[in-house]
Structure 1
């Protein structure tokens, strides 16, 4: 699907000494994120998952196609690098552990009903192009893990978190996902008491996600700094968009908020405030939001879509079935 847009390139490189006050330059030569999405591998990866050595999942390992819960469970925990291709609808329960160096990719229409994926004590994992429904715990849980990319999934009607990241996890990108008919969307940092593990970690990028009438945690952030939230579309969010808490530092930029009375704020429930910098966001019938403090520099290059065009770009590209894998 071809779409046109004006693109602005934001290149914020810590090594070059740039900060969040760095310049914003027009760059027609930059590859738009919605065109990059058509690629099948790490070439279209943006954000924190490009750091720490990068994220390639199973790489070029021969794929294993699974059509049952038992086959999926075995393939996810097999030793060595692996590409697991999910086909059809799999009914399952509980949390299925994903080992290191795995790509979990959905064929067209691939759906997991009743279970979630647990990326625990793992590194170098990709999860893409899956539909999750009616999970009993989390749809995707990431803990004690690094270099993880979660992209182009559709998630709805689950029990707890859609995509939760916690316990010192680091270098994660969450991109081009659609969440609807759900309450607790994306939690980053599970507890106010876990700062000893989490400070200096929980560095995550959230971009081009479609929060479609969901309620809260888009994301709810503890401790991580910088956490980068850009080019997401928030439609009729019931509770709040982004919350920065417990000393976290969150950059919220180039997003589109529609019918969202509380787009972002500091602190949440019993959690104390973090810091939050907001810039270049587009708002339609939405609140002003709360900001405060400064945020650490973003160490990677990225292309920030024109905020007023983010709605059309994200609704046209987010979710399962929108990328060939």
Structure 2
């Protein structure tokens, strides 16, 4: 079990507005993290306060928290009516309405395709049994933006296409504490000039293509967009795309748990800039690729990761520091398996 040396840093930027409440959340939840760590062997159980143990926060960290593009962070449907939906027709109706809505999904809802979610929506699963199956959610269309959307605490299974597609210039999106499995194409794709997204505390399993970032090798409109934070996700036996990145910079891959990923962990292609930091790779022969398949090489800086029965990561070039945009704390990567398995997925945040 080895850790990689740190790479050089750019100077941190001035982003400090969210730092106080971020620190308060860490302190309030530190006891829960300590309990999770007791499941580790003594050699691995180094105490480390989590950036969000169990992820039980009301607001995102990472890129979805950044004030930009006319928004102060990501608030979803806050301030709008709260409704509970139990059918596909009800979900489609409220997800497509103008204005903010907090939409609570109760029980299992079967879709026949993709439902379009437009701006200012929170779609929240009730308890531990909320499920969307057979179809998925598409954030925005070419005429109706999917900005400022939150999706939390929902099990996505058996989608006929993507489970969640963040597309068509959607920005300020938070996808948190969901469970993704068994779709047809990608479980969670972010593409077509979307920006300022946080993907946190999700479990991905029983599928090949987990998380694509960037539409294609020829879609150069994504340059300067697709700034995404992936933190505290559990990539549990999925084969590839954790994420696969094109053009984006910076992409922050922080404190995720990779286990038994057959093809690779992270791939940076088409001059993307990816920071892979504080992750735990277990039984991953190719934890990080620079370039993949027919896609040209990207850039990768990796630091403070742990590789257990795993290969050597590929690295290249330099990457803009995420601290230019937001503050964060890195969990001890040796503790990441216990922290993430205890906290990721549905039924963990009391919605």
- Tell me the TM-score normalized by structure 1: 0.90
Which of 250, 256, 265 matches 1:241?
A: 265
1:178: which partner in 2?
A: 203
What RMSD, in angstroms, separates the aligned Cα atoms of the two structures? Answer: 1.7
Aligned ranges 1:181-192 → 2 under 5 Å: 181-192=206-217
Give the whole-Å Cα distance in 1 for the aligned partners of 2:50 and 2:280. Answer: 17
Deviation at 1:165, TM superposition (A): 0.2
Instruction: Tell which deviates more after alignment, 246-255 or 315-324.
Output: 315-324
- Aligned to 1:72, the other structure's residue is in SS state helix
Could you tell me whether the CA contact under 8 Å between 1:34 and 1:317 is conserved in 2? no
Which of 240, 256, 268 matches 1:216?
A: 240
Give the whole-Å Cα distance in 1 for the aligned partners of 2:239 and 2:133. Answer: 22
Aligned ranges 1:220-231 → 2 under 5 Å: 220-231=244-255
- Tell me the TM-score normalized by structure 2: 0.83
Give the whole-Å Cα distance in 2 for the aligned partners of 1:37 and 1:324. Answer: 11
Aligned residues: 301
1:65 counterpart = 2:84: yes
- Call closer, same or farther: CA 1:36–1:301 in 2, change over 3 Å: farther
1:194 counterpart = 2:219: yes
Deviations 1:42-97 (CA, angstroms, capped at 9, x unpaired): 1xx11000112210000132311000000010010111100000000111111100
Deviations 1:185-236 (CA, angstroms, capped at 9, x unpaired): 00000101111x1111010000000000000000000000110001000000
1:33 counterpart = 2:33: no
2:13: which partner in 1?
A: 14
Aligned ranges 1:262-281 → 2 under 5 Å: 262-281=286-305
Higher strand fraction (1 or 2): 1
2:134: which partner in 1?
A: 114
Unaligned runs of 5+ in 1: 1-9, 17-27
2:65: which partner in 1?
A: 50
1:89 counterpart = 2:108: yes
Give the whole-Å Cα distance in 1 for the aligned partners of 2:201 and 2:112. Answer: 25
Could you tell me whether the CA contact under 8 Å between 1:13 and 1:300 is conserved in 2? no
Give the whole-Å Cα distance in 2 for the aligned partners of 1:138 and 1:252. Answer: 25
1:317: which partner in 2?
A: 343
Deviation at 1:116, TM superposition (A): 0.4
Could you tell me whether the CA contact under 8 Å between 2:10 and 2:320 is conserved in 1? no
- Call closer, same or farther: CA 1:238–1:36 in 2, change over 3 Å: closer
- Call closer, same or farther: CA 1:164–1:32 in 2, change over 3 Å: same
1:261: which partner in 2?
A: 285
Unaligned runs of 5+ in 2: 1-8, 16-25, 31-48
Deviations 1:134-179 (CA, angstroms, capped at 9, x unpaired): 0010000011200000000001111000110001100000000001
Give the whole-Å Cα distance in 2 for the aligned partners of 1:268 and 1:314. Answer: 27
Give the whole-Å Cα distance in 2 for the aligned partners of 1:260 and 1:151. Answer: 24
Could you tell me whether the CA contact under 8 Å between 1:34 and 1:313 is conserved in 2? no
Could you tell me whether the CA contact under 8 Å between 2:153 and 2:177 is conserved in 1? yes
- Call closer, same or farther: CA 1:34–1:50 in 2, change over 3 Å: closer
